[in-house]
Copies of this chain bind each other. A is one copy, B any other.
Amino acid sequence: MVVEHVASDADITQAAALMADPTRAAMLTSLLDGRALAAGELARLAGVSAATASAHLARLLDGCLVTVVRQGRHRYYRLTGHEVAHALESLARISPRPAVRSLKGARQARLLREARTCYDHLAGQAGVELLDRLVGGKCLVEAADGYEVGEKGERILAELGVDLAAVRGARRRFAIPCLDWTERRPHLGGALGAALTERLMERGWFERGTTRRALTLTEHGRSGMTAL
């Protein structure tokens, strides 16, 4: 009899070891807001090669810290659940400085939930609302392969500056529902989602926050959104 609490210890070391590597920690903290990110995106964020990232993601997957969803040729990784996020936060809270950062963190998380970019298109509460309004107003109609643009939609998108012909020409799915991981409902992804987001940014509907992927809906954007 050498060690007590054997079972607990094993669990702790397994999870802790997965979080102990800088590369994996960068990946995990990037996923902290609940989004799902593609493997390549995570590799870029962590600053490692695709091969290295793949190995790390496989280990995180094996340790049940993340789950993966295949979507086309992408694999979207996401934290398994709030326990993982919770553990990451409690670890970050240890050492030098105390509670100050946690307030900032909570505020930042809230901002990210309100509106953010998901890779290159709008997500968060605002993203989900936008898709709701576009579909509800028959601007977009569900199609076999995502969404198609209705008559009213063509007019509105043109007004917003979206070049539909160019969007259709992109080497990319046209308009697809993308599951929003904080709202658990879809927002608009695909080439159209990206182009529309770009135009809305240009027209001042949103402003970039401190985190770069965090967005805030401006007054102008709010009135534009309700007018849809």
Q: Interface residues, chain A, CB within 8 Å of chain B?
A: 2-5, 7-17, 19-22, 25-26, 28-30, 32, 44-47, 63-65, 83-84, 86-88, 90-96, 101, 105, 211-212
Contact = CB atoms under 8 A, between A and B. Distances in A.
A166 to B, nearest CB: 29
Contacts of A45: 2-4
Given A4-B211, A13-B21, A13-B22, 10 more contacts: A8-B92, A10-B22, A11-B96, A12-B28, A16-B17, A65-B94, A83-B94, A86-B90, A87-B94, A91-B91
Contact of A90 (B17, B63, B90, B211): B90
In the complex, the 4 A-B pairs of residues with the closest C-beta atoms, listed nearest first: A2-B47, A16-B19, A17-B20, A16-B20
A91 B11 contact: yes
Nearest to A24: B13
A83 B92 contact: no
Counting chain B CB atoms within 10 Å of each CB, the highest count among A5, A12, A25 belongs to A12
A47 B16 contact: no
